Amino acid sequence: MIDRDELLHVARLARLALHEDELDATAGELSTILGHVAAIEELDLEGVEPTAHIGDVSDSLRADHVRPSLARDVALAPAPAIRDDGFLVPSPQGE
Protein backbone atom coordinates (compact mmCIF):
# COMPACT_ATOMS: atom_id res chain seq x y z
CA MET A 1 0.00 0.00 0.00
CA ILE A 2 1.44 3.33 -1.05
CA ASP A 3 1.21 5.99 1.60
CA ARG A 4 0.37 9.63 1.29
CA ASP A 5 3.94 10.95 1.55
CA GLU A 6 5.20 8.53 -1.05
CA LEU A 7 2.34 9.50 -3.35
CA LEU A 8 3.11 13.20 -2.98
CA HIS A 9 6.80 12.54 -3.66
CA VAL A 10 6.06 10.58 -6.82
CA ALA A 11 3.53 13.20 -7.93
CA ARG A 12 6.08 15.95 -7.43
CA LEU A 13 8.68 14.04 -9.47
CA ALA A 14 6.13 13.66 -12.27
CA ARG A 15 5.03 17.31 -11.94
CA LEU A 16 1.46 16.22 -11.20
CA ALA A 17 -0.63 18.64 -9.17
CA LEU A 18 -2.87 16.41 -7.09
CA HIS A 19 -5.70 18.03 -5.20
CA GLU A 20 -6.38 17.10 -1.64
CA ASP A 21 -9.58 15.28 -2.60
CA GLU A 22 -7.73 13.18 -5.22
CA LEU A 23 -5.12 11.77 -2.87
CA ASP A 24 -7.00 8.83 -1.42
CA ALA A 25 -8.41 7.67 -4.75
CA THR A 26 -5.03 7.99 -6.51
CA ALA A 27 -3.21 6.19 -3.71
CA GLY A 28 -5.75 3.38 -4.03
CA GLU A 29 -5.30 3.10 -7.81
CA LEU A 30 -1.52 3.11 -7.59
CA SER A 31 -1.61 0.49 -4.87
CA THR A 32 -3.75 -1.74 -7.09
CA ILE A 33 -1.19 -1.44 -9.90
CA LEU A 34 1.69 -2.17 -7.54
CA GLY A 35 -0.25 -5.11 -6.17
CA HIS A 36 -0.59 -6.49 -9.67
CA VAL A 37 3.15 -6.21 -10.24
CA ALA A 38 3.78 -7.82 -6.88
CA ALA A 39 1.57 -10.72 -7.95
CA ILE A 40 3.67 -11.17 -11.08
CA GLU A 41 6.78 -11.15 -8.96
CA GLU A 42 5.41 -14.20 -7.14
CA LEU A 43 5.56 -16.29 -10.31
CA ASP A 44 8.27 -18.85 -10.66
CA LEU A 45 10.21 -17.50 -13.65
CA GLU A 46 13.24 -19.72 -13.27
CA GLY A 47 14.84 -20.16 -16.67
CA VAL A 48 12.72 -17.52 -18.42
CA GLU A 49 14.67 -14.88 -20.32
CA PRO A 50 14.01 -11.35 -19.02
CA THR A 51 11.91 -9.40 -21.48
CA ALA A 52 13.45 -6.09 -22.43
CA HIS A 53 10.94 -5.37 -25.16
CA ILE A 54 7.50 -6.66 -26.02
CA GLY A 55 7.97 -6.76 -29.79
CA ASP A 56 9.35 -9.75 -31.59
CA VAL A 57 12.70 -8.13 -31.78
CA SER A 58 14.90 -8.39 -34.72
CA ASP A 59 17.55 -5.74 -34.68
CA SER A 60 16.49 -2.41 -36.12
CA LEU A 61 19.20 0.18 -36.42
CA ARG A 62 19.22 3.15 -38.74
CA ALA A 63 21.95 3.90 -41.28
CA ASP A 64 23.72 7.19 -40.53
CA HIS A 65 22.10 9.09 -43.41
CA VAL A 66 20.96 12.68 -43.10
CA ARG A 67 17.29 13.35 -43.61
CA PRO A 68 15.86 16.84 -44.03
CA SER A 69 15.07 18.67 -40.81
CA LEU A 70 11.96 20.77 -40.28
CA ALA A 71 11.85 24.35 -41.48
CA ARG A 72 12.42 26.54 -38.45
CA ASP A 73 9.03 28.25 -38.58
CA VAL A 74 7.38 24.83 -38.63
CA ALA A 75 9.50 23.68 -35.66
CA LEU A 76 8.70 26.82 -33.71
CA ALA A 77 4.98 26.88 -34.57
CA PRO A 78 3.83 25.07 -31.41
CA ALA A 79 6.07 27.18 -29.13
CA PRO A 80 4.16 29.13 -26.46
CA ALA A 81 6.58 32.01 -26.93
CA ILE A 82 9.45 32.69 -29.34
CA ARG A 83 12.52 34.87 -29.10
CA ASP A 84 15.69 35.05 -31.19
CA ASP A 85 14.53 32.08 -33.28
CA GLY A 86 14.24 29.93 -30.18
CA PHE A 87 11.68 28.55 -27.75
CA LEU A 88 11.25 31.07 -24.93
CA VAL A 89 10.76 29.32 -21.60
CA PRO A 90 10.93 30.21 -17.92
CA SER A 91 14.46 29.77 -16.62
CA PRO A 92 14.86 26.59 -14.62
CA GLN A 93 15.03 27.25 -10.90
CA GLY A 94 18.34 27.36 -9.18
CA GLU A 95 20.30 28.19 -12.34
Partner 1 sequence: MAGGDLEPVIGLEIHVQLRTATKMFCGCALGFGEPPNTRTCPVCLGLPGALPVANAEAIHYGLMIGMALDSELAPVSTFHRKNYFYPDLPKGYQISQFDLPLCSGGKLGEVNIHRVHLEEDAAKLNHAGASGRIEGADSSIVDFNRGGTPLAEIVTEPELRSAEQVGEWLRLLRTTLRTLGVSDVNMEEGSLRCDANISLRPVGTDQLGTKTELKNMNSFRFIERGIRAEVERQRAIIEAGETVTQETLHFDPKSESITSLRSKEEAHDYRYFPEPDLPPVVITEEMLARAAASLPELPAAREQRYIETLSLSPETARVFAWRAELADYFDAVCAADQSLDPHVAANWVTELQGRLGDEEAEDSKVTAAALAQLAAMVVSSQVNQGGAKQVLDQLVAAGGEPASIVADQGLEAVGGADELAPIVAAALEANPELTERLRSGDMKPIGVIVGEVMKQTRGRADGKEVTALVRKQLGLS
For binding to partner 1 (CB under 8 A), which residues are involved?
A: 9, 12-13, 15, 52-55, 57-67, 69-70, 72, 75-76, 78, 81, 83-92, 94
Distance in Å, CB of 24 to partner 1, minimum = 23
Geometric angle at alpha carbon 42, from 40 and 47, rounded to 5°: 90
Nearer to partner 1, 45 or 87 (CB): 87
Nearer to partner 1, 24 or 77 (CB): 77
Q: Under a CB-based contact definition with an 8 Å cutoff, are residues 3 and 27 in contact?
A: yes
Shortest CA distance to 38 belongs to which of 13, 1, 85?
1
